Amino acid sequence: VQLVESGGGLVQAGGSLRLSCRASELAFDLRAIAWFRQAPGKQREGVSCINNVDGNTYYINSVEGRFAISTDLHEQTAYLQMDSLSPEDTAVYYCSADRETSCGGAIQVPELWAYWGQGTPVTVSS
């Protein structure tokens, strides 16, 4: 499975961006899709996750209420809508997926996710 992210860029604080992650093949057998981010000098952290089976979503506290994850399995695409962006959200954002891993605790364990995109940079200016 190949994942290709798009939608990153430069935005002012308070602005919005929508990231997209397109899968190279039918995504129905992917148990979950997650978004991670990695800021300069920091470890990669899970941001949000969605289980394809039941549609349950998960967010880390710092983005709860500002970010929204969704999927369009017909389009084989996952999205991360990011609103009220702040400079602390500046990072490279990565899409990941796995056929066996579900959301929950796994959102903070990058090693559990088999498939990764190349990343799309997001810069939020103050």
pLDDT one-digit tens code per residue, 74-85:
888 999 999 999
- Residue that the structure tokens 């499975």 belong to: 1
Query: CA 46, CA 32: separation in Å to the nearest integer?
Result: 13
28-32, 94-98, 99-103: range with lowest mean pLDDT: 28-32
- Asked if residue 29 has pLDDT above 80, the reply is no
- Asked if residue 27 has pLDDT above 70, the reply is no
Mean pLDDT of 7-26: 93
pLDDT at 41: 94
- Asked if residue 28 has pLDDT above 70, the reply is no
- Asked if residue 43 has pLDDT above 70, the reply is yes
- Asked if residue 46 has pLDDT above 90, the reply is yes
Tell me the two tokens of residue 47. 């941001």
Could you tell me the maximum CA-CA distance found in the chain, to the nearest angstrom? Answer: 41
The pLDDT mean for the chain works out to 93
Which residues contact residue 105 at a Cβ distance below 8 angstroms, ignoring those fewer than 6 apart? none
Mean pLDDT of 27-46: 90
Query: CA 126, CA 108: separation in Å to the nearest integer?
Result: 28
